[in-house]
């Protein structure tokens, strides 16, 4: 027997078949199972084979591969990198102890503002007070470990609110923990905290995230070191409100016994000029380096412009319909998604800043940019030219903050410039009065403070740190992915805001004017518009724009027979153009579609009634399936302006009837309009059903939780 060794597989097979054979009692029942026909024989064989296959699966055949997971591991990760990732703790209390940190500054950010503020606060804690601060993404740590933080440490929260009072994506885990605090009766008696919220008072749930977090922490026994403070982007006061909160924190630190040091400039990045000349063929450094592809956002691609047309029939404004070709990119969009357009800065502002810095002769020199500490995140990639940095990576057209004005004073080329900057930067009231009548970019400020001397001693690192990273501007896609899956339509109102002052200057909307220039359509404005360079891609004629797709929850219901209520003003109609054309296509091929009620508002039917011809054709196609109700604010009947929210109030009973019948309601446009629409519907609900405030809120919240009431709005 020693020479006859059964293999492990045969032994396993034997052990598997033994109970089967025993159960069937093969030896004693074969005669009784003797088939009477050939069909019976085949059936018995198939039964035995099926039983054999079932009982041996995973043992003899189709065995799991223990190394299957390797197929999903990135081979470029070295063993050391893997071990480092494994070793990184998600326990924030442990991280504070191991790193010798005195404070953790948590940020929850959707657009990057809260993150930027958190990084600035962390730097100044160190430079001014010698406080070792950890600036932390909320998603990098397990929220329940916040309860383990010792009393010798303290925590700062910078939390943004967007949409329907929602937290930022990176704060999802923290948000769930906050909501569980009361249920689990967690005690946070050792937690000392500071809190700052970012929101927009035009939205119904202004700074809701901050309010709920603070209430939960206080109820759990945490100690607020000072009252929480809220920023209001509706007033353009984010920077000022943050500065005020930060000043209060520094006063608190002084009261806690920390010595404040002089705030001399200390760069966080090293910037040097390298050798080489700019090549027009090198486009890689025109793509913003800080954009992160994720499950909700695609990579950035240069998308060729296939067509463009003007939507306004008259007036001194432009509204562009532009179609971009997705071509062979791996971008996929769905109806209702957003497109992020990455503009470049206009020629005039780039030239103005180069001249003010006395760096015109270095515009094509390559930059070497490297961080000087672990917390610094360079906004400009190494290897790009100075001109590309100013054109494609930094917000040089944004208004300068009061803190930046104060910090600039130490580099002033003459005493007069220094005095002017200090007076403007130290007085908030004077700064707000000045900026209310003057759009002051960095270049314009440098020229205003020192009209006859350049700022040749201003470090380029300071310029890069003081300016914000260039951000995309998002537009609701106005095409249907069902009808044009490889072509994206953008609907953009060109914004130009006049400022009443001695020079009658104008603030030009950066991205909308960039798109107007790229479209090669004539401007309807009565004043000159900015000029931009554009990328030409062969073999396509015309230019292209850099863009990416961002997923949205603003989607049509799965069932096409679900009724729709669509409420929009101006370019808020963009996603509804996609919704209606998709529904019309389904209708023409015989699919059942639900009734649709469209409210649309604009100034006048003769000037800015966008897509009017298309809507009339859709009305012909859909018949009584589509009802259009318009509101024109400049066509006043009886001396009264009519807005879309007024028409919603007028048809309140019909709106409620459709909602009760299962309709989905969508609102798109400015946040102020959306808030008033909400109020009109709630008023109608109280009047029609006799509900009180609490019942109305519960009814509305129920619709929103089920996805029957959605809004896609902006400030």
Q: Are residues 241 and 99 in the same domain?
A: yes
pLDDT of residue 678: 94
| φ, ψ at 500 (rounded to 5°) | -85, 105
Number of domains in the chain: 3
pLDDT digits over 426-473, tens only?
A: 998 999 888 888 889 999 999 999 999 999 999 999 999 999 999 999
Q: Are residues 576 and 657 in the same domain?
A: yes
The rounded percent of the chain whose pLDDT value lies above 70 is 84
The two three-digit tokens of residue 508, written as one number: 């030009």
pLDDT of residue 121: 94
Question: Is 432 inside any structural domain?
Answer: no
Q: Which of 53-57, 612-616, 639-643 has the lowest mean pLDDT?
A: 53-57
CA distance 165 to 675: 12
The two three-digit tokens of residue 28, written as one number: 């004693």
pLDDT of residue 1: 38
DSSP-derived secondary structure for 476-545: EB-S-TTT-TTEEEEEEEPPEEE--STT--EEEPHHHHHHHHHHTPPP--SS-------EE-TTSSSEEE
Q: Are residues 109 and 205 in the same domain?
A: yes
pTM of the predicted model, to two decimals? 0.81
The predicted model gives 245-254 an average pLDDT of 94
Strands annotated E in 551-706 = 564-569, 596-602, 626-632, 664-670
Question: Is 68 inside any structural domain?
Answer: no
Q: Are residues 619 and 674 in the same domain?
A: yes
Q: Are residues 115 and 22 in the same domain?
A: no
Q: Which of 41-45, 208-212, 428-432, 595-599 has the lowest mean pLDDT?
A: 41-45
Classify 208 as helix, strand or coil.
Answer: helix
pLDDT of residue 535: 61
Q: What is the CATH number of the domain that holds 665?
A: 3.40.50.80
pLDDT digits over 60-88, tens only?
A: 555 554 443 333 344 443 444 334 444 57
Q: Which of 255, 274, 304 is the last residue of a domain?
A: 255
- Domain residues for the domain of 48 are 8-56
The predicted model gives 29-47 an average pLDDT of 61
Q: Which of 255, 281, 308 is the last residue of a domain?
A: 255
pLDDT digits over 8-26, tens only?
A: 343 344 444 444 444 444 4
Instruction: Please name which of 219, 205, 102 lies closest in space to residue 156, comparing C-alpha atoms.
Output: 102
Q: Are residues 128 and 194 in the same domain?
A: yes
pLDDT of residue 430: 92
Instruction: Name the residue with higher pLDDT: 402 or 498.
Output: 402
Q: Are residues 592 and 684 in the same domain?
A: yes
CB 424 within 8 A of CB 401: no
HSE-CB of 38 using CA atoms within 13 angstroms? 0
Which residues lie across from 667 on neighbouring strands?
Answer: 567, 711
Q: Which of 199-203, 484-488, 519-523 has the lowest mean pLDDT?
A: 199-203
Question: Is 602 inside any structural domain?
Answer: yes
Q: Are residues 619 and 709 in the same domain?
A: yes
pLDDT digits over 546-567, tens only?
A: 999 999 999 999 999 999 999 9
**Residues contacting residue 65 through CB under 8 Å, at least 6 positions apart:** none
Per-residue pLDDT for 243 more than 60?
yes
Per-residue pLDDT for 217 more than 50?
yes
Q: What is the mean pLDDT of the chain?
A: 86
Per-residue pLDDT for 266 more than 90?
no
Question: Is 332 inside any structural domain?
Answer: no
Q: Which of 231, 255, 279 is the last residue of a domain?
A: 255
CB 532 within 8 A of CB 348: no
Q: Are residues 243 and 119 in the same domain?
A: yes
pLDDT digits over 403-428, tens only?
A: 999 999 999 999 999 999 999 999 98
pLDDT digits over 139-188, tens only?
A: 999 999 999 999 999 999 999 998 778 899 899 999 999 999 978 888 99
Q: Are residues 114 and 242 in the same domain?
A: yes
Question: Is 367 inside any structural domain?
Answer: no
Q: What is the CATH number of the domain that holds 157?
A: 3.40.50.360
Question: Is 425 inside any structural domain?
Answer: no
Per-residue pLDDT for 89 more than 90?
no
The two three-digit tokens of residue 512, written as one number: 């909308």
Question: Is 240 inside any structural domain?
Answer: yes
Q: Are residues 31 and 96 in the same domain?
A: no
Q: Are residues 579 and 699 in the same domain?
A: yes
CA distance 458 to 411: 6
Per-residue pLDDT for 576 more than 90?
yes
| φ, ψ at 666 (rounded to 5°) | -130, 135
CA distance 389 to 469: 10
Looking at mean pLDDT, say which of 7-11, 87-91, 485-489 comes out highest: 485-489
Q: Using 50, 70 and 90 to split pLDDT, how confident is the model at 56?
A: low
Q: Which of 200-204, 582-586, 602-606, 621-625 has the lowest mean pLDDT?
A: 200-204
Per-residue pLDDT for 320 more than 90?
yes
Q: Using 50, 70 and 90 to split pLDDT, how confident is the model at 501?
A: low
Question: Is 195 inside any structural domain?
Answer: yes
Instruction: Name the residue with higher pLDDT: 4 or 543.
Output: 543
């Amino acid at each position: 027997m020693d020479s006859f060794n059964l293999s492990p597989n045969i032994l396993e097979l034997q052990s598997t078949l033994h109970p089967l054979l025993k159960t069937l009692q093969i030896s004693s029942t074969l005669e009784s199972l003797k088939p009477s026909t050939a069909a019976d024989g085949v059936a018995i064989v198939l039964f035995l084979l099926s039983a054999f296959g079932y009982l041996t699966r995973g043992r003899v055949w189709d065995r799991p591969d223990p190394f299957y997971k390797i197929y999903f591991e990135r081979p470029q990760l070295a063993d050391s990198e893997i071990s480092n990732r494994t070793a990184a703790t998600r326990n924030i209390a442990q991280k504070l102890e191991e790193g010798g940190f005195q404070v953790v500054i948590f940020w929850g950010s959707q657009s990057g503002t809260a993150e930027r503020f958190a990084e600035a606060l962390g730097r100044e804690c160190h430079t001014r007070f010698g406080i070792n601060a950890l600036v932390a993404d909320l998603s990098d740590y397990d929220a329940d470990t916040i309860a383990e933080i010792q009393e010798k440490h303290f925590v700062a929260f910078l939390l943004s609110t967007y949409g329907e009072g929602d937290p930022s994506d990176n704060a999802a885990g923290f948000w769930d923990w906050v909501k569980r605090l009361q249920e689990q009766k967690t005690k946070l008696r050792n937690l000392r905290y500071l809190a700052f919220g970012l929101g927009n008072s035009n939205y119904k749930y202004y700074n809701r995230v901050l309010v709920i977090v603070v209430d939960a922490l206080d109820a759990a026994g945490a100690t607020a070191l000072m009252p929480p403070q809220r920023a209001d982007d509706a007033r353009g006061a984010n920077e000022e409100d943050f500065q005020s909160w930060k000043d209060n924190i520094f006063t608190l630190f002084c009261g806690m016994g920390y010595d404040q040091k002089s705030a001399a400039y200390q760069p966080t990045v090293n910037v040097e000029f390298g050798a080489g000349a700019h090549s027009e063929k090198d486009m890689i450094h025109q793509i913003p380096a800080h954009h992160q592809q994720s499950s909700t956002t695609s990579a950035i691609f240069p998308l060729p412009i296939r067509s463009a047309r003007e939507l306004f029939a008259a007036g001194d404004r432009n509204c562009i319909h532009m179609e971009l070709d997705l071509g062979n990119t791996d971008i996929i969009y769905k109806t209702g998604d957003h497109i992020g357009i990455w503009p470049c800065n206009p020629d005039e502002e780039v030239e103005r800043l180069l001249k003010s810095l006395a760096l015109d002769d270095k515009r094509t020199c390559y930059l070497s940019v490297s961080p000087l500490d672990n917390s610094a995140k360079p906004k400009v990639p190494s290897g790009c030219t100075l001109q590309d940095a100013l054109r494609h990576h930094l917000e040089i057209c944004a208004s300068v903050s009061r803190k930046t004005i104060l910090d600039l004073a130490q580099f002033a080329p003459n005493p007069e410039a220094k005095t002017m900057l200090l007076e403007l930067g130290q007085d908030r009231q004077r700064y707000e009065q000045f900026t209310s009548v003057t759009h002051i970019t960095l270049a314009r400020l440098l020229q205003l403070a020192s009209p006859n001397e350049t700022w040749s001693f201003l470090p380029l690192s300071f310029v890069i740190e003081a300016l914000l990273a260039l951000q995309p501007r998002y537009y609701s896609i106005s095409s249907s992915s069902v009808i044009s899956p490889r072509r994206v339509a953008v609907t953009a109102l060109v914004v130009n805001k006049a400022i009443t002052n001695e020079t009658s200057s104008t603030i030009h909307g950066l991205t909308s004017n960039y798109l107007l220039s790229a479209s090669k359509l004539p401007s309807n404005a009565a004043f000159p518009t900015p000029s931009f360079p554009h990328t030409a891609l062969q073999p396509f004629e015309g230019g292209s724009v850099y863009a990416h797709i961002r997923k949205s929850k603003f989607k049509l219901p799965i069932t096409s027979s679900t009724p729709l209520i669509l409420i929009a003003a101006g370019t808020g109609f963009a996603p509804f153009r996609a919704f209606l054309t998709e529904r019309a296509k389904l209708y023409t091929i015989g699919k059942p579609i639900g009734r649709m009620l469209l409210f649309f508002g604009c100034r006048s039917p003769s000037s800015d009634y966008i897509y009017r011809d298309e809507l009339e054709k859709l009305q012909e196609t859909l018949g009584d399936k589509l009802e259009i109700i318009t509101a024109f604010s400049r066509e006043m009947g009886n001396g009264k302006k009519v807005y879309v929210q007024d028409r919603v109030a007028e048809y309140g009973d019909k709106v409620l009837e459709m909602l009760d019948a299962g309709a989905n309601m969508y609102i798109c446009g400015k946040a102020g309009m959306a808030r008033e629409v909400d109020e009109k519907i709630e008023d109608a609900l109280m009047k029609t059903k006799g509900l009180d405030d609490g019942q109305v809120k519960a009814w509305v919240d129920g619709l929103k939780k089920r996805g029957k009431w959605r809004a896609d709005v902006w400030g």
